[in-house]
Amino acid sequence: MIAPMGRLAILAWAFLGLLLLSADAEPARRVALVIGNGTYAEAGTLANPVNDALDIADKLRSIGFEVIEGNDLGKRELERSIGEFSDALEGAGVGLFYYAGHGLQVDGRNYIVPVDARLDMPVKLQLEAVPIDEVLDIMEQQTKVSLVFLDACRNNPFARSLSRTATTRSATALAGLAQFDSTRGSFIAFSTAPGAVAMDGTGRNSPFASALLRHIAEPGQSINDMMIAVRRDVVSQTREGQRPWEQGSLLERFEFVPGDGPAPKPKPAAEPAPASQVAALERSVGDDKASIENFLRRDYLAPDTKAMAETVKRIYGPSAAIFGTRYDADAIVKVKTDWFAQWASWSLGLEPGSLEITPHGEDRTEAAFAMRYDYVPKDKAAARLTGKARVTLGLVKAEGGWRIESETSQAMQ
């Protein structure tokens, strides 16, 4: 567990201190619980839920969410993660729950299925599964905005087993998930229509997760417009076989990444990339990784504190989105100058082997890595700050090298 001052060091390095420049402009904390269950003791293995959860968690971190994640969780581990999520939601403005894996509905109530579930009889349902509405209740009680994304409608052997053994109509398990009875300040997105079955996918991600990853970080896009784009992609990819839908009661417009101007026009539905383009991107990753690692070591992790304005202009350009909020260069310069003025000495380092590169077209990429930090204060009575953080940077190629267009980080234990 990292001490409070250690957490402060990480947040300050990521320039979260920019938010203190204006109390009125301070955005609410955003906290997410991301679960992917794929390896079931009684139902075989689903190929993509863990991949989906890992990729969604990384994407949410890149746009400013604090993320609690767990994969292939049994009942007890799942309940502990939900409890941790509940604690983290205190004081947050936005809560998000993403689940990929098996789910089912019984008597109109939706359940998450842990990987150790044994649902051979309906009477075991309350003991073995977790009601999704209980997670939603926790979110609605503590946050102004509650967002739920459920990719849990896959063809489900648990539903078939329960249906065969059911003795009453109320205990009959049905395919897919059901609508929720009521939502208060919530937005709930389903990977497919009520009662329908979603596809697990043949690539790394399910069709629903793939579309979410593509559209969730579009600046200035409302969550409703995002779901239209997601639905369009999924319908196209599955040849009308799957149609995501949503229900909700949000009172205000919600954007995952705020935009400075009008929302951009929706992208056309996703199409498979030509083989030549895929090959070109794969060949470029190695070259990009070397140049990005050089940029990190030379510039990002070794800023010239005596020429901070020039350093920020070179590294960030005129502005950058920090934790999902855009700031101009002057604001970044002020916070960085104030931060480094506290320390007699400091060092920042790239953890060997931790750099991961995800290209997004020819001139943009995402870089994620573990950063070591060590700050020695000028005040001898103050504590020395040491630790690690996972940093995610959105990078764009510019004249003279790479520049940062988005940045976020999270403490590492």
Whether 181 shows a pLDDT value over 90: the answer reads no
How far, in Å, CA of 66 to CA of 87, rounded? 12
The Cα diameter of the chain in Å comes to 76
Q: How many CB atoms lie within 10 A of CB 243?
A: 16
Report the first-to-last Cα separation within the chain, whole angstroms: 6
Whether 266 shows a pLDDT value over 80: the answer reads no
At position 100, the amino acid (one-letter code) is: A
**DSSP structure string for 9-44:** HHHHHTTGGGGGG-GGGPPPPEEEEEEE--EETTTE
376-386: average pLDDT: 86
pLDDT for the residue 239 = 84
More confident residue, 106 or 128: 128
pLDDT, tens digit (0-9, with 9 covering 90-100), for 280-291: 434 444 457 888
Q: What confidence category does residue 196 fall into, taking pLDDT thresholds of 50, 70 and 90? A: low
Average confidence score pLDDT of the chain: 78
Q: Which residue has the tokens 């940093």?
A: 391
Q: What confidence category does residue 55 fall into, taking pLDDT thresholds of 50, 70 and 90? A: very high
Tokens at residue 248, please? 């909700």
pLDDT, tens digit (0-9, with 9 covering 90-100), for 316-371: 878 887 766 677 888 888 888 888 888 999 899 998 889 988 887 677 888 899 99
Buried b (16+ CB within 10 A) or exposed e, 137-146: ebbbebbebb
Q: What confidence category does residue 18 fall into, taking pLDDT thresholds of 50, 70 and 90? A: very low
Q: Among 148-157, 320-329, 370-379, which range has the highest average pLDDT? A: 370-379
61-69: average pLDDT: 94
Whether 223 shows a pLDDT value over 90: the answer reads yes
Whether 100 shows a pLDDT value over 70: the answer reads yes
193-199: average pLDDT: 63
Sequence-distant (6+) residues with CB within 8 A of 373 are 9, 10, 13, 346, 347, 348, 349, 385, 386, 387, 388, 389
Domain with CATH 3.10.450.50 in the chain: 275-412
Whether 273 shows a pLDDT value over 50: the answer reads no
Task: Pick the range with the lowest mean pLDDT from 164-168, 319-323, 389-393.
Answer: 164-168
pLDDT for the residue 178 = 52
242-251: average pLDDT: 85
How far, in Å, CA of 389 to CA of 393, rounded? 13
Rg, Å, the chain Cα set:
23
pLDDT for the residue 56 = 96
16-24: average pLDDT: 38
Q: What confidence category does residue 4 fall into, taking pLDDT thresholds of 50, 70 and 90? A: very low
Select from 3.40.50.2300, 3.10.110.10, 3.10.450.50, 3.40.120.10 the CATH code of 275-412.
Answer: 3.10.450.50
User: With pLDDT > 70 as the criterion, what percentage of the chain qualifies?
Assistant: 74
pLDDT for the residue 96 = 97
Whether 217 shows a pLDDT value over 90: the answer reads yes
Sequence-distant (6+) residues with CB within 8 A of 400 are 314
Whether 391 shows a pLDDT value over 80: the answer reads yes
Which residues face 370 on adjacent strands? 390
Tokens at residue 209, please? 């997760």
- Per DSSP, 170 falls in state G
Q: What confidence category does residue 34 fall into, taking pLDDT thresholds of 50, 70 and 90? A: very high
**DSSP structure string for 328-357:** EHHHHHHHHHHHHTTEEEEEEEEPTT--EE
Whether 265 shows a pLDDT value over 50: the answer reads no
Q: What confidence category does residue 409 fall into, taking pLDDT thresholds of 50, 70 and 90? A: confident
Q: Which SS3 state, helix, strand or coil, does residue 56 take?
A: helix
Select from 3.40.630.30, 3.40.50.1460, 3.40.1160.10, 3.20.20.30 the CATH code of 37-248.
Answer: 3.40.50.1460
pTM score > 0.85 for this model?
no
Number of H helices, E strands in the chain: 11, 19
Sequence-distant (6+) residues with CB within 8 A of 382 are none
pLDDT for the residue 195 = 57
More confident residue, 248 or 293: 293
How far, in Å, CA of 223 to CA of 216, rounded? 8
pLDDT for the residue 167 = 37
More confident residue, 7 or 321: 321
Domain with CATH 3.40.50.1460 in the chain: 37-248
Bridging pattern class, strands 109-112 and 103-106: antiparallel
pLDDT for the residue 407 = 86
How far, in Å, CA of 172 to CA of 160, rounded? 9
More confident residue, 92 or 196: 92
pLDDT for the residue 2 = 43
Whether 21 shows a pLDDT value over 70: the answer reads no
